[in-house]
Amino acid sequence: MSKNYRAELVGAFGNPIDENPTGVMEEAAFAAKGLNFRYLTVRVEKDDLEAAMNGVRAFGMKGINLTIPHKVNVLKYLDELSEAAKIIGAVNMVVNKDGKLWGENTDGKGFLISLKNEGVSVEGKQVVILGAGGAAKAIGVECALAGAKKIIIVNRNRERGEDLVRLIEEKTNAKAEYAPWDSTYKVSPETDIFINATCIGLYPDVNSKPDVDYDTVTSDMVVSDVVFNDPNTLFLQEAAKRGAHTVNGLGMLVNQGALNFTLWTGVEAPIDVMTDTLKKEFSL
Ligand code: NDP
């Protein structure tokens, strides 16, 4: 009788990474589907990424997640990119396809699925995004590719904000516009979907909220936050007080994790198990 003591490996490289709960969620999903996979949460310093990616190849890992600060730097160690990852210029996951490393960005796709699960479509909508970093870029590009009419990027750093606007205008059919964020931001009444894609409110900064005039948020807006730790952010609390339909960052986290699971294993992800596992981690 032949026995196999070797598991297939996936995981995450990042720094900081210790508080990232993705591994618990993916391992619960592997167990639920009876898959012999292990997820390794690994702290990798900025300068060690090349060695770490050589490790992915040497260990024959099935794939890897990338988080801060590796999402852009990893591109030079990959063999191929998805179309969306080429536009976004960053990846949050890699699949090892028979020795060829293929990069994809599932952050924005996971975000769109979390909206869809709440009955919200971005098609033809006006979307306002706070932030122009990695998460904002992935969300902005995917909203544009999914048919959003207009995307307004509100960012403190003008250059980064304008770069994202240019990217959306050049690579998609959506209109995009930059709005400076040098004083309290007032949300225009034409806004359909209002998103915080900054890290304001992320643990341990849980008592902070983006500098917004929350009285300009109305009950016909959908308001979403990418911050998932803690998911009940002050940003969402303020929006809920104005009657807006709020969508927290856990849905994005679960759904990008589910897409990654399927890309690595070829098996449909057990979304309920993943959601329940995360909720337990956050004592919800
Ligand atoms: P980046 O560092 O790439 O970008 C951060 C953005 O936040 C920048 O636009 C920055 O503006 C802005 N920002 C930070 N602090 C402030 C402030 N005090 N006032 C105004 N703007 C500020 O980070 P990421 O895009 O990678 O991550 C952003 C958030 O998204 C994090 O909280 C992360 O946890 C979350 N995330 C959630 C996911 C999920 O599945 N739910 C997936 C991926 C990310 P500026 O350019 O002016 O510096």
Give me the CATH number covering residue 260.
3.40.50.10860
Residue 169 falls inside a structural domain: yes
CB within 6 Å of ligand 1 — which residues? 68, 107, 110, 131-136, 155-157, 160, 197-200, 202, 226-228, 249, 252-253, 256
**Is residue 256 situated within a structural domain?**
yes
pLDDT the model gives residue 2: 83
Residue 23 falls inside a structural domain: yes
Q: What is the CATH number of the domain that holds 125?
A: 3.40.50.720
- Total domain count, the chain: 2
Answer whether residue 74 is part of any domain: yes
Q: Is residue 1 in some structural domain?
A: no
pLDDT at 167: 97
- From 158, 168, 135, select the one nearest 68 (Cα to Cα): 135
pLDDT at 230: 85
Same domain, 87 and 116: no
- Tell me, yes or no, whether 99 and 75 share the same domain: yes
Q: What is the domain range of residue 22?
A: 8-105+251-281
Which residue in the list 3, 33, 46, 71 is annotated as catalytic?
71
Burial class of residue 98 in the structure, from the number of CB atoms within 10 Å of its CB (0-12 exposed, 13-18 middle, 19+ buried): exposed
- Give the three-state DSSP class for 186: coil
Give the count of beta carbons closer than 10 Å to the beta carbon of residue 268: 10
The conformational region for residue 254 under phi > 0 = left, psi -120 to 50 = alpha, else beta, is: alpha
The Cα–Cα gap between 143 and 200 comes to 21
Domain identity same for 126 and 67: no
The amino acid occupying position 258 is A
Give backbone dihedrals phi and psi of 109, rounded to 5 degrees, phi first.
-65, -40
Peptide bond into 21 cis (omega under 30): no
Looking at the structure, tell me whether residues 170 and 83 fall in a common domain. Answer: no
Q: Is 71 a catalytic residue?
A: yes
65 and 173 assigned to the same domain? no
Same domain flag for 66 and 191: no
Report the share of the chain in percent with pLDDT over 90: 95
The list of the chain residues with pLDDT below 50 reads none
Residue nearest to atom 39 of ligand 1 (CA): 253
**Both 264 and 210 in a single domain?**
no
Query: Are 121 and 34 part of one and the same domain?
Result: no
Task: Report the pLDDT value the prediction gives residue 91, as an integer from 0 to 100.
Answer: 97
* pLDDT at position 1: 67
pLDDT in the model for residue 283: 84
